Amino acid sequence: MRYELAPMEGVTTYLYRRCYHTHFVPMDRYFTPFIAPNMNQGLNAKERRDVLPEHNAGLPLVPQILTNRADHFLTTCRDLEALGYGEVNLNLGCPSGTVVSKGKGSGFLARYDELRAFLDEIFSRCPLRISIKTRVGRADQADWPRLLDLYRQYPCAELIVHPRIQKDFYRGAPRMDAFALAEAEAPWPLVYNGDLFTRRGIAEISRAHPGVETVMLGRGVISNPWLIGGTPDKAVLRDFHDELFDGYRGILYGDGPVLCKMKGVWAYLIQRFTNYAPYQKIIRKTRRLSEYQSTVNALFHNEDLIPDAGFQPEP
């Protein structure tokens, strides 16, 4: 099995990716959170920092683009090509209301003719390989067979399927019947993404879908960095945490932004610890680095790791 780290806005930054890569079993590929180009530019300053080769040394990285404008997509690809990238990923999955209302992300899935014109243009003019990350419809899973027929017309580097529709957000069971449909006559390498939270879960996907050679992991691996291998070790996790925390303190100004980034990781990682509830409450609420640090110290000192126990999304 090959493994890819899912793009997660606010969580899988270059610092996170680098710290993960050096402390745990490395992923085969990493994806950046989405780059959202606009009229004036391909990459903004923050997006450029995230893809700079010197920030991603030694990591196989695919930048992700979120747009419904072929010209914006192609301009961004030129910037990325100049930085040395050979592949980009198109986001056709984002379920956020503001993105969908503009016809981007999973909102683009409901605009079939526009999507076809967009794909025609980018696949004929983009010098880079293009992979697609998609949901299985916007408002209705009934759209999926037609979308699959459309995707089959293009030489996707890979098709990453998160088998939910927009209104599912990240809740409810993945629609495995829709995923199975993608397997039939798949001309591109097919990647499964969604709710893989334990090693057993990954093994089951592999058993049920022998044609799938790659899975993309998001919340599961943030929650359990040993999901794809290795032995849980509190000292290693502490080093990882400290490197990430120090990294953010080095590049962000003020307690708030640093805490925001660390809280984004703890939203998942906290479940790795025994009796985590009281610590979770403080970490969620705190506005002070000193309180954050004493809480994290107490958590590591007082509690143990629970290996491979999965991850429970909030209801």
Size of the site for ligand FMN (CB under 6 A): 22
Alpha helices in the chain (DSSP H): 14-23, 45-51, 70-82, 97-101, 112-125, 144-151, 176-183, 199-208, 219-223, 234-251, 255-269, 277-285, 289-302
To the nearest whole angstrom, how small is the minimum distance from the Cβ of residue 80 to ligand FMN?
16
The binder of ligand FMN chosen from 21, 23, 104, 219 (CB under 6 A): 219
The contact pattern for ligand FMN, residues 68-107, with x = CB under 6 A and - = no contact, is -----------------------x-xx-------------
To the nearest whole angstrom, how small is the minimum distance from the Cβ of residue 92 to ligand FMN?
9
The binder of ligand FMN chosen from 137, 163, 218, 247 (CB under 6 A): 218
To the nearest whole angstrom, how small is the minimum distance from the Cβ of residue 98 to ligand FMN?
13
Q: Give residue 276's identity as a one-letter amino acid code.
A: Y
Of 34 and 240, which CB lies nearer to ligand FMN in the complex structure?
A: 34
Which range binds ligand FMN by CB under 6 A, 1-9, 123-131, 231-239, 289-297? 1-9
Q: Report in angstroms the alpha-carbon separations of 161 from 61, 111, 236.
A: 19, 18, 32
Specify the DSSP class assigned to residue 108.
G
Of 4 and 143, which CB lies nearer to ligand FMN in the complex structure?
A: 4
Return the closest-CA partner of residue 269 out of 247, 300, 315. Answer: 300
Which range binds ligand FMN by CB under 6 A, 42-50, 146-154, 214-222, 288-296? 214-222
By CB under 6 A, residue 193 contacts ligand FMN: yes
Q: Are 171 and 165 a contacting pair, CB within 8 Å?
A: no
Of 141 and 193, which CB lies nearer to ligand FMN in the complex structure?
A: 193
The contact pattern for ligand FMN, residues 126-165, with x = CB under 6 A and - = no contact, is -------x----------------------------x---
Specify the DSSP class assigned to residue 63.
E
The binder of ligand FMN chosen from 48, 102, 152, 170 (CB under 6 A): 170
Phi-psi region of 126 (alpha: psi -120 to 50; beta: other; left: phi over 0): beta
Of 64 and 75, which CB lies nearer to ligand FMN in the complex structure?
A: 64
Q: Give residue 83's identity as a one-letter amino acid code.
A: L
CA 149 vs. chain centroid, Å, equals 25
Return the closest-CA partner of residue 297 out of 265, 261, 273. Answer: 273
To the nearest whole angstrom, how small is the minimum distance from the Cβ of residue 302 to ligand FMN?
28
Q: Is 170 helix (H, G, I), strand (E, B) or coil?
A: coil
The binder of ligand FMN chosen from 27, 195, 244, 299 (CB under 6 A): 195
Torsion angles phi and psi, residue 279, rounded to 5:
-70, -40
Q: Report in angstroms the alpha-carbon separations of 106 from 67, 163, 177, 296.
A: 11, 12, 19, 37
Torsion angles phi and psi, residue 280, rounded to 5:
-60, -40
Site for ligand FMN in 279-308 (CB under 6 A): none
The contact pattern for ligand FMN, residues 28-67, with x = CB under 6 A and - = no contact, is -----xx-----------------------------x---
Of 124 and 141, which CB lies nearer to ligand FMN in the complex structure?
A: 141
Q: Are 162 and 190 a contacting pair, CB within 8 Å?
A: no
Site for ligand FMN in 220-249 (CB under 6 A): 220
> Binding residues for ligand FMN, per CB under 6 A?
6-9, 11, 33-34, 64, 91, 93-94, 133, 162, 170, 193-196, 217-220
